[in-house]
Structure 1
Amino acid sequence: MELNQLRCFIAVAEELHFGHAAQRLDMLPSALGRYIKLLEEDLGTRLLSRSTRNVSLTPHGALFLEEAREIVERADHLQQRFRKLARQNAGRLRIGAIDSAVVSLVPHVLHVFRDSWPDVDIQIVEDKSSKLLPKLKSGRLDVIFMRPTEHMDDALENQFLFYEDVVLAISDKHRLSQRNEIYVDDLMNVPLIVPERRVRPHSYDLTMSLFDCASFKPQLVKIADEKQTIINMVAAELGAAIMPKWVARMSAMNVKFIPLAKEYQTIRTKLPLSAVWVKDSRDETRDNMMKVVMQELEVIAQQY
């Protein structure tokens, strides 16, 4: 006895017409008749009386109808219950990410991730690394994409992903805007817009590290902390800025983005990106997403 046989019997018992019942179940009347016949053979009794014009329930059929309805109802309820549980278990992935990760990494990963786990409820929080870490430690986030600190908490797992490339953002009216690459000596007497170090230490240190071996000190202009604001200040010819390569995708009229000369490529080590989560915490959904991250890492890194 199968659930499908019970559904067929219930439909015929309620319609008292094989054609109408078959239409209701979107199947051929002949196929419906075979299901009923198999059910009766399994039970060893007639459930329906058939004539050329009428279909009616036998006494056993009337008795069986109540039981069949209860079985099908319970089966449907059980299926719905466990599908709901599956959605809940799959159900949530809370991601924290700095602006760099939100630009390409997170969208790319989630696009691939959703192909295999479409029912996961995904929440994304964009913020600075210093703001994301407390949320991760307190359990409000499952994984974060951030700039790793020099001394990471031992309670955290840190998966290094890649370093980002670096460019100079400069007004297209500036004399340096026609260069194909930039050397540190080119930046003598060029005001450089930097954020406050306490707000964005990685961004501040990125600029300062360029001048570690220079014969002059950079001219710093601390007038903005957010990248879009810095780009707007560059467009207004208030200075240039050393920035991650991805900012070239931001809306920026009258701004050129020029790569640093190859001899300065070690500066990229100032822009690491890592995935971080609480060590020894079990989370199948997070682990599945990290598998996608590592699988797609080569493609993602090329975008940075």
Structure 2
Amino acid sequence: MDLHQLRCFLAVAEELHFGRAAQRLGMLPSALGRHIRLLEEDLGTRLMNRTTRSVALTDDGACLLEEARALLLQADRLAARFRSGARVQTSVLRVGAIDSAAAGLLPMLLQDFRARHPDVVVQLTEDKTIRLLPRLRSGRLDLAFVRPPEQPDRALDALFLFHETVVVALPADHPLTGRSSLRIEDIADQPVIVPERRSRPHSHDLTMKLFAEAGHQARVAQLAEEKQTIINLVGAGLGVAIVPRWTARMAPPSVRFIPLEGVGGAPVDRLPLAAAWMRGTRDPLRDRMLDTLRDQLARYADQA
């Protein structure tokens, strides 16, 4: 039995679904299943009853769940404490961010942070929430700017920051680019490029809900995983997309962005952004960045 096997078990036990657990860990379901079998062989007991449709913990599995959760939390805290001590000496802070936060929030935050702490080196990792959270839990990141998960992670602390404003991305030659704002009704008959739910559940669900709430069904022309791919597809004239406003900072000249009106003409701001870090750890460099973030949060939120 090793820690990786316990992490695999914990993910499946919490999700009760091998596919979702594999996605959470960034591995193939077949590899995940192999680690569960090895753990069961090492312990000499069956931990899960699984069929093609369901996963359920056995009595031994339920007993192991709380023990595994406590053991992994202790191991993560121990690793984070030693890594934090080493980093204070070298003054390196490892920060992860989703793409829109990397394009919009991070340039402002880093400028303010470096004005206060010019000797700190910040290493940036840009990725999706589902890949940043495991790096945070394992101690490979010290702080991450992510979409908060639907189920709170007991190993992490999180600070809600604000909701990002969303806009409609259109091809530059689209007839609607002359409008000052748009409603869902204006694009109800347009082909829509939508993020894959597996990797971007917040953005995917928001697009579908906005259409449904307006009494329409989105005409999904293409699913895409990367935000830059979505924007390039819009620029190629394959459809329109609903994206965070900060996405405009990474757009080619072939794309225009128009504000999206919600109820009563208000902007649509339903993409939450949070800062997350390992619970129960002391990290002076991380806390200095959080102090800068809190001091300037109102200004950052105004530009989201």
Same fold (TM over 0.5): yes
Letter in 2 for 1:292: T
Identity of aligned residues (%): 47
Aligned to 1:261: 261
Aligned to 2:39: none
Letter in 2 for 1:134: P
- SS of the aligned residue for 1:274 comes to strand
1:115 deviates by 2.6
Aligned to 1:280: 280
1:259 deviates by 0.7
Aligned to 2:234: 234
Letter in 2 for 1:239: G
Distance in 2 between the 1:255 and 1:87 partners?
A: 42
Aligned to 1:127: 127
Structure 1 position 136 matched with structure 2 position 136:
yes
Q: How does 1:11-160 map to 2 (within 5 A)?
A: 88-89=88-89, 91-160=91-160
1:210 deviates by 0.5
Q: How does 1:143-292 map to 2 (within 5 A)?
A: 143-263=143-263, 265=266, 267-269=268-270, 271-292=271-292
Cα distance change of structure 1 residues 87 and 142 upon mapping to structure 2, 3 Å threshold:
closer
Segment of structure 1 superposing worse, 222-231 or 141-150: 222-231
- SS of the aligned residue for 2:140 comes to coil
Per-residue CA shift, 1:115-140, capped at 9, x if unaligned? 33222232111110000111111111
Give the aligned length: 219
1:254 deviates by 3.0
1:112 deviates by 1.9
Contact kept, 8 Å, 1:96 with 1:127, in 2: the verdict is yes
- SS of the aligned residue for 2:269 comes to helix
Segment of structure 1 superposing worse, 114-123 or 252-261: 114-123
Per-residue CA shift, 1:216-261, capped at 9, x if unaligned? 3110022432222212211221110011111122232232211112
Distance in 2 between the 1:189 and 1:87 partners?
A: 53
Per-residue CA shift, 1:51-87, capped at 9, x if unaligned? xxxxxxxxxxxxxxxxxxxxxxxxxxxxxxxxxx999
- SS of the aligned residue for 1:233 comes to helix
- SS of the aligned residue for 2:124 comes to strand
Distance in 2 between the 1:218 and 1:254 partners?
A: 23
1:290 deviates by 0.3
Letter in 1 for 2:203: S
Contact kept, 8 Å, 1:160 with 1:275, in 2: the verdict is yes
Letter in 2 for 1:101: A
Letter in 2 for 1:260: L
TM-score (norm. length: structure 2): 0.67
Contact kept, 8 Å, 1:90 with 1:117, in 2: the verdict is no
Distance in 2 between the 1:226 and 1:138 partners?
A: 24
Distance in 1 between the 2:254 and 2:114 partners?
A: 38
Distance in 2 between the 1:173 and 1:253 partners?
A: 11
TM-score (norm. length: structure 1): 0.67
Contact kept, 8 Å, 1:93 with 1:122, in 2: the verdict is yes
Letter in 2 for 1:157: D
Contact kept, 8 Å, 2:182 with 2:261, in 1: the verdict is yes
Distance in 1 between the 2:86 and 2:156 partners?
A: 28
1:187 deviates by 1.7
Distance in 2 between the 1:185 and 1:87 partners?
A: 52
- SS of the aligned residue for 1:268 comes to coil
Task: State which structure, 1 or 2, has the greater radius of gyration over its C-alpha atoms.
Answer: 1
Contact kept, 8 Å, 2:234 with 2:240, in 1: the verdict is yes
1:213 deviates by 2.4
Contact kept, 8 Å, 1:162 with 1:273, in 2: the verdict is yes
Segment of structure 1 superposing worse, 207-216 or 147-156: 207-216
Per-residue CA shift, 1:191-225, capped at 9, x if unaligned? 00012111211221121110222333110022432
Distance in 1 between the 2:287 and 2:87 partners?
A: 17
- SS of the aligned residue for 2:89 comes to helix
Contact kept, 8 Å, 1:155 with 1:278, in 2: the verdict is yes
Distance in 2 between the 1:89 and 1:273 partners?
A: 30
Contact kept, 8 Å, 1:168 with 1:243, in 2: the verdict is yes
Unmatched 5+ residue regions in structure 1? 1-84
Cα distance change of structure 1 residues 256 and 266 upon mapping to structure 2, 3 Å threshold:
closer
- SS of the aligned residue for 1:234 comes to helix
